[in-house]
A and B are shown apart, each in its own frame.
Chain A
């Protein structure tokens, strides 16, 4: 597994995937675009987890698998581990990355247009940023879902952006 690929290449490709699905194929149907992108991520995660667990024994329980995602899997993908893992011990895990690599270069227009809206400026800015970056997180969510599904853990994964460039992935394991 020694061959390497340019990171700029991968990031540009991902940006283009989101852009062509959102503005091209499913121009006015963001939910469909999101689902397609997430499905692509699912396939990728499925294959990647196969590759990265080649020499390991089977995971004993869900927590071990999630820890694998947080440490080894994340290191292979992003050269760092998940910064914070939280769980409610009832099948929900929150994986927090304080500086998500694929969001690191993204930023939005600092000038907020106050068109007489009731919302305060900081909330509006957050909203715009959230909407714009939200589409870019379906792919990593798909990757996590695909990886876990290949390890025998069906789940649903969603992303939560409270502050760029940090983001959290919420994994809900299906009972």
Chain B
């Protein structure tokens, strides 16, 4: 049983609502801010160098997570900010949207952050991000040839993720 309660690789990933190339790009960071993976499918505008881009993205999400948790009006006891929690527990920021794109975010208890940037009218991507995390576990973590903390260079993972994201609505 995976920790999300799904079986081997979720046998039924979320159904795509419409066909077409919806995903713009995806980042995967580990707990230390190292960018493990950056995939790009549709990104006409690039303003920064790769390194600056990754640092900016990581810093942005770190700050957003803290901010959203601190501004939470509902829960009385904040607990320990910065402690990784299961997605959905505590107060976790999961997406923001502008008029040109939507950024969806998920962090696992082990500190793996997955960011998916898509078309602004895409629906809630939380299930999709969980599925991508499952793919990460199956094809990266369980790959004997991968050493943790290094950029991901596993062909199987790349192809499966590409296929999956292309099918997203």
Contact B138 A105 (CB under 8 A): yes
Contact B143 A106 (CB under 8 A): yes
Bound-state CA distance A136–B142 (Å) is: 13
What are the residues of chain B within 8 A of A106 when measuring CB–CB?
143-145, 156
- B108 to A: closest C-beta gap in Å: 16
Interface size of A in residues (CB-CB distance below 8 Å): 16
- A63 to B: closest C-beta gap in Å: 34
A115 interface contact, C-beta 8 A = no
Contact B153 A8 (CB under 8 A): no
Interface centre among B139, B145, B158 (most CB of A within 10 A): B145
Contact A110 B144 (CB under 8 A): no
Tell which of A8, A11, A19, A107 touches B139, judged by Cβ atoms closer than 8 Å: A107
Contact B139 A105 (CB under 8 A): yes
Interface size of B in residues (CB-CB distance below 8 Å): 12
Bound-state CA distance A128–B145 (Å) is: 11
CB contact list, A150-164 vs B, under 8 A: none
A12 interface contact, C-beta 8 A = yes
A120 interface contact, C-beta 8 A = no
What are the residues of chain B within 8 A of A12 when measuring CB–CB?
142
Measured CB to CB, the nearest residue on chain B to A17 is B144
Bound-state CA distance A12–B138 (Å) is: 12
Bound-state CA distance A142–B158 (Å) is: 32
B157 interface contact, C-beta 8 A = yes
Residue interface bits A46-63, CB-to-B below 8 A is 1, else 0: 000000000000000000
Contact B144 A108 (CB under 8 A): no
Measured CB to CB, the nearest residue on chain B to A12 is B142
Contact B144 A136 (CB under 8 A): yes
A18 interface contact, C-beta 8 A = yes
Tell which of A15, A18, A110, A136 touches B153, judged by Cβ atoms closer than 8 Å: A110
Contact A107 B142 (CB under 8 A): no
What are the residues of chain A within 8 A of B157 when measuring CB–CB?
107
Knowing A105-B139, A110-B158, the reply to whether A132 touches B145 (Cβ < 8 A) is: yes
What are the residues of chain B within 8 A of A136 when measuring CB–CB?
144
A109 interface contact, C-beta 8 A = yes
B154 interface contact, C-beta 8 A = yes
B77 interface contact, C-beta 8 A = no
Tell which of B143, B153, B158 touches A105, judged by Cβ atoms closer than 8 Å: B143
Which chain A residues have a beta carbon within 8 Å of chain B's beta carbons?
8, 11-12, 14-15, 18-19, 105-111, 132, 136
Q: Which 8 A-B pairs have the closest CB atoms?
A: A15-B144, A107-B156, A109-B153, A105-B142, A110-B155, A107-B155, A107-B154, A105-B143
